[in-house]
Amino acid sequence: MEIVIASGKGGVGKSTITGSLISLLSKDFKLGAVDADAEAPNLHIIFNVREWEREEEFADAKTAEINDSCINCGLCDNVCVYEAIYIDGRRRIKQYLCEGCGACKAVCPVDAITISDAISGWLRTGKTKYGPLVSAELDVGKPNSGKLVTEEKKIAREWRDKGEIDHIIVDAAAGIGCQVISSVSGANLVLLVGEPTPSSLSDMKRMHGLAKHFGIETKMIINKYGLNEGYRGLEEFAKENNIEIIGRVPYDSSVPKALNSMMPLVEFDPDSKASKAIKEIADVVKGWL
């Protein structure tokens, strides 16, 4: 199976849940982990990965460059909607703002501008005691986070095709943008993780809508349960949409301590209330694999 852990909202505990589930399930299955948050990857921190086995540049963006034949006519300034052009003796490009659209090159009267490939980010693979991990990091201001995640999943699926792993667990990013769409594309199941707040419910509705659009089944995990006593928004939404709630993980002060120790919660404090709840969730997931 390919299971995606997502939420729509940041900070609800996706990576905490993902890290602990992988720690528990890897005892019975060969798992491959995908950190699909290319803008802010952190699964390698939980798994204490200090060195990458392989790291390669991902060049799928474009950027403009202005050479010395520039006559400073200023036509490129007028068409650059990204305000990436500045003057330093002659006109130059702020690479972190340039999208490589080519508008400046199209209007340049002396052909002083070239469009070339640019690095969008990096793909990284490493070994953990739970199985292989593929991660990515988007360069500052660069586009194509969705394509980076697609490449990550391609690597994980190659591991599966070769028999190196049986199942793939994907830790998705917040929101419902390009990288999240790439995360859920082709998946078998989406585990929706939410916290008992109206903000989390609002974003979870969007995430559920995305999964529904792709025809992917969803289940729900309520994290930080009990933090907002009396709030029933997530339960009501689950009931209205026939979404099974497979676990409720109580708010637990051990979570930030586990992150600081670079360990999955269930290993850092296996007897904590949150760890016990995640173990019950893992037992449910075992029945699907």
Confidence of residue 105 (pLDDT cuts 50, 70, 90): very high
The pLDDT assigned to 141 comes to 73
Give 163-176 pLDDT, tens digit per residue: 999 999 999 999 99
Same domain, 65 and 193: no
Q: What pLDDT, in 10s, does the model give residues 213-222?
A: 999 999 999 9
Residues 99 and 239 in one domain: no
Q: Is the pTM of this model over 0.85?
A: yes
Q: Give dist(CA 60, CA 261) in Å, integer.
A: 35
> What is the secondary structure of 120-161 as a DSSP string?
-EEEEEEEETTEEEEEEEEPTT---HHHHHHHHHHHHHHHHH
Crossing angle of the two packed helices 233-240 and 198-213, in degrees rounded to 10: 20
Pair (227, 151) in one structural domain: yes
Please check whether residues 158 and 222 belong to one and the same domain.
Answer: yes
Same domain as 202, residue 101: no
Q: How many residues are recorded in the chain?
A: 289
Say if residue 85 is in the same domain as residue 159.
no
Q: Which amino acid is at 288?
A: W
Please report the pLDDT score of residue 103 as a whole number.
96
Provide the domain limits for residue 106. Answer: 61-118
* Cα angle 60, 61, 67; round to 5: 130
Return all residues near 43 (Cβ < 8 A) that are at least 6 apart: 15, 18, 19, 33, 35, 133, 135, 171
Choose one of 87, 118, 149: the last residue of a domain.
118
Residue 96's pLDDT is 85
Clarify whether residues 132 and 216 are in a common domain.
Answer: yes
At 70, which amino acid appears? C
Same domain for 247 and 219: yes
Same domain, 131 and 199: yes
Q: What's the CATH number where 28 sits?
A: 3.40.50.300
Do 270 and 180 belong to one domain?
yes
Closest by alpha carbon to 95, among 73, 71, 129, 120? 120
End-to-end alpha carbon distance in the chain: 7
Sign for the pseudo-dihedral over CA of 38, 40, 46, 51: positive
Residues 65 and 47 in one domain: no
Between residues 127 and 139, the one the model is more confident about: 127
pLDDT for residue 143 is more than 80: no
CA-atom Rg of the chain in angstroms: 22
Q: Which of 118, 137, 157 is the last residue of a domain?
A: 118
| β-pairing verdict for 189-194 and 2-6 | parallel
pLDDT for residue 258: 95
**Residues 151, 123: contact at Cβ < 8 Å?**
yes
Residue 42, pLDDT score: 94
DSSP per residue over 194-253, as a string? Answer: E-SSHHHHHHHHHHHHHHHHTT-EEEEEEEEETTTTT--HHHHHHHHTT-EEEEEEE--T
Phi, psi (deg, nearest 5) at residue 200: -65, -40
Residue 131 has pLDDT above 80, yes or no: yes
- With a cut of 80, say whether residue 1 has pLDDT above it: yes
Q: Tell whether the model's pLDDT for residue 142 goes beyond 80.
A: no
- What is the residue-averaged pLDDT of the chain? 95
34-78 residue pLDDT tens = 999 999 999 999 999 999 999 999 987 889 999 999 999 999 999
pLDDT at 60: 79
Of 75, 103, 118, the domain-final residue:
118
- Domain harbouring 84, CATH code: 3.30.70.20
| pLDDT tens-digit readout, 238-277 | 999 999 999 999 999 999 999 999 999 999 999 999 999 9
User: Helix, strand, or coil here: 202?
Assistant: helix
Structural domain count, the chain:
2
Q: Considering only CA atoms, which of 152, 126, 120, 117 is closest in space to residue 55?
A: 126
What is the share, in percent, of the chain residues with pLDDT greater than 90? 90
**What does the longest C-alpha to C-alpha distance in the chain come to?**
70
Give yes or no: residues 132 and 247 share one domain. Answer: yes
Q: What is the pLDDT of residues 6-44, one digit of tens each?
A: 999 999 999 999 999 999 999 999 999 999 999 999 999
